[in-house]
Structure 1
């Protein structure tokens, strides 16, 4: 892969395409760029919105390249964040790989790391090329209790250790092709939902942690937790490694499913040992940032400090309830009309940055082009564009090369920023009614089992769904 990073610096031609305007004369050079950078920085300090995106690459030092990769010593996650750097996470793996035919919807488990390593590797590379500088191991739902849940039987065919090891190896290989770190991730467990003890749940996390330590990941993430109690248990397990720990919950402004407010969740996570806290999944960028704001306020009130992190959905979810997008009738096979545009994600990136979030990425629905949008929006602050911007004109500026004149007329920021996007579905509602079953830890229907769901169990659920929809 040597070479594609070397091609990625924002050349004058690329700067012109991204900014949608003629590039400065070579004689203007760095002096003009430095002056523009000061102006953009002043505008951002005054709290202006994403106007900087329209002039982003005229502010960049076009001689600067993204940091190169390799096995040399890299700055760690806390070293980067403590220095005020922006860390761009990756996107959603389970949804992306399910659409590509490598993950099964329902269990959402990551055995593709063993069965189809080339698919997982390619997705990592696309996120890296788009601007990600964290490669999360594809270990979402890779706990042993999840790999054998409800008739999945992955554990009988492929051990949990093999799945986790393969995911670590793939992430490390790709991370070393750029200036990216590897994060080993754990997530909520069937054991917790089935009311297992703290000791039993922590043992599940420890099994994954042992692999992460063996593979020497750079830091750890406890992600996708609906209950802060379990998230705290995960953090307490992971900090024993001595590595930095990030913790994100899949909650909205109402708090976790036991009613614990976001601010209190943040406090408990930091007291447990997390250095980075925030949210991921279940809600769209707007709602997720509302939750992060409440977390930030909770930490400030408690006089605690931590770096903020946001990895939301790439789906619009204004009609969600406390359970998030899982309660929407469209989950998981009818979500496409809700997909965020690249321009939506540029707005999210700027709002996250203005809120003080410095670890900015995405979760389900986030494709590489969404991550590229984050990297392009924050290029003035980072000082460079991602390699994937070689093939993208910011705000549609590349459309000036189109054969059709009316499409060339769309090669401007104002067009895309003000477009009210139609769904093309005239008889469909704009909002949905969430199912709202309200089940959580300890509810009989949420108790997990190794055996496949029976026909009788399904019949009972079908009847309940009919009753709920009346």
Structure 2
């Protein structure tokens, strides 16, 4: 165990003891997580339309470059290339027979990349199905998330991150499945809708999300994707005011524009890092980046707020 990881082990222990969480977090300070994965894999040659998670089996060396670069930039927590590695999402790519292998490889790849210098929080993303539209049932979601969460836990993940959720019911089901593993669970929604871009696609407010995710058992409450760092200041503050759980924020590098068919993010690492100070002041205890962010964004964050 490296000296860098020990404060995070202490932090993780506190997440299951609510009365001790706040003091431990004050001692540990703000924890810098990682940045984008999808856009980083695309930069390494991931073809359009290819399921990124399958690269855990076909291109593990290229996948490993992503978390290693983040750790070298200052990340103390890195995620895994398992965002779409639930049975329902993988069915769209015809690889449901590889659920366990893809998830296991995802954790092992990130673990190798950290070299003991950071913790591995495994990613669990949405199913790609809509409960409201009747394209999936709650039972089917529970089965899919339970299968993925157990595979990630068995592979040695330090915690699980339910992220980029637009449907609160789906997020709640995923959290319950993740909590059954006994690991700490981070639960994040996407707030990018409504007149003030402070609601999920389904109309959920930060306050409603915080209360429901806390009731489901989430140890950390958060938000990711959807918009740039400036838009998350108010959302972070509202989450902090609605829950006693630590708050996790991972914003995009701004809102992308299409240039010659390619998504271009206008926010620079320096701008992102500077704006992150207001998010930390609003109460975030875990901060990183989402779509469009790179190791340079994490390096700039480390310079701005420390780790």
TM-score, length basis structure 1? 0.58
Match of 2:56 in 1: 113
3-state SS in 1 of match to 2:289: coil
Q: Could you tell me which of 114, 126, 133 is aligned with 1:188?
A: 126
- Distance (Å, rounded) in 1 between the aligned partners of 2:297 and 2:286: 15
**Separation in 1, partners of 2:96, 2:179:** 26
Contact 1:76 1:218 in 2 (8 A): no
C-alpha distance in 2, partners of 1:181/1:311? 17
Q: Is residue 248 from structure 1 mapped to residue 163 from structure 2 by the alignment?
A: no
Q: Is 1:192–1:201's contact at 8 Å kept on the other side of the alignment?
A: no
What is the CA distance between 1:236 and its match in structure 2? 1.2
CA contact (8 A) 1:277 1:306 kept: yes
Distance 1:69 1:81, change over 3 A: closer
Whole-angstrom CA distance in 2 between matches of 1:265 and 1:105 = 32
Q: 1:82 to 1:207 in 2, by over 3 A?
A: farther
Looking at structure 2, the residues matched to 93 and 108 of structure 1 have their Cα atoms a distance apart, in angstroms, of: 12
Q: Which stretches in structure 1 are left out of the alignment for 5+ residues?
A: 1-65, 318-324, 383-470
Deviation for aligned residue 1:375: 0.5
1:166 matched to 2:105? The reply is yes
Contact kept in structure 2, 1:109 and 1:146, CA below 8 Å: no
1:294 positional shift? 2.5
Counterparts of 2:27 and 2:220, CA distance in 1: 14
What corresponds to 1:215 in structure 2? 155
The alignment partner of 1:201 has SS state of helix
Aligned to 1:334: 262
Counterpart contact for 1:264–1:295, Cα < 8 Å: no
Q: Distance in 2 between matches of 1:311 and 1:86?
A: 13
Mark the CA change 1:355 to 1:276 in structure 2 (over 3 Å): closer, same or farther.
same
Larger radius of gyration: 1
Q: Residues 345 and 145 of structure 1: is their aligned pair in 2 closer, same or farther, counting only changes over 3 Å?
A: same
| 2:3 aligned residue (67, 81, 89) | 67
Alignment of 1:286-435 (within 5 A): 286-297=230-241, 299=242, 304-314=243-253, 316-317=254-255, 330=258, 333-336=261-264, 338-379=265-306, 382=307
Shift of 1:136: 0.8
Structure 1: 4+ residue segments shifted above 4 A: none
| In structure 1, distance between residues paired with 2:198 and 2:76 | 31
Tell whether the 8 Å contact from 2:249 to 2:288 is kept in structure 1 after alignment: yes
In structure 2, do the counterparts of structure 1 residues 76 and 111 end up closer, same or farther at CA, with 3 Å as the change threshold? farther
Helix, strand or coil: the match of 1:360? strand
Instruction: After TM superposition, give the deviation of residue 333 of structure 1 in Å.
Output: 4.3
Structure-2 residue corresponding to 1:201: 141
Counterpart check, 1:128 vs 2:71:
yes
Counterparts of 1:252-263 in structure 2, within 5 Å, are 252=192, 253-263=197-207
1:255–1:261 CA contact under 8 A, matched in 2: yes
Q: Distance in 1 between matches of 2:180 and 2:299?
A: 35
User: Any unmatched runs of 5+ in structure 2?
Assistant: 15-23
Q: From the superposition, tell whether residues 76 and 85 of structure 1 become closer, same or farther in structure 2 (CA, over 3 Å).
A: same
How many angstroms does 1:75 deviate by? 3.3
Looking at structure 2, the residues matched to 121 and 373 of structure 1 have their Cα atoms a distance apart, in angstroms, of 22
Residues 76, 181 of structure 1: 8 Å contact kept? no
Following superposition, the deviation at residue 291 of structure 1 comes to: 2.0
Give me the whole-angstrom Cα distance separating, in 2, the residues matched to 1:218 and 1:82. Answer: 21
The question of whether the paired residues in 2 share the 8 Å contact of 1:280 and 1:312 is answered with yes
* Cα deviations by residue, 1:411-465 (Å, 9 ceiling, x for unpaired): xxxxxxxxxxxxxxxxxxxxxxxxxxxxxxxxxxxxxxxxxxxxxxxxxxxxxxx
1:258 aligned counterpart, secondary structure: coil
Determine the C-alpha separation between the residues in 1 that align with 2:25 and 2:167: 26
Q: CA contact under 8 A between 2:5 and 2:76: conserved in structure 1?
A: no
Encode CA deviations 1:263-284: one digit per residue, 9 max, x unaligned.
1111111111112111111211
Whether 2:82 is the aligned partner of 1:139: answer yes
Contact 1:109/1:142 (<8 A) preserved: no
- After TM superposition, give the deviation of residue 331 of structure 1 in Å: 9.4
How much has 1:191 moved relative to structure 2? 3.5
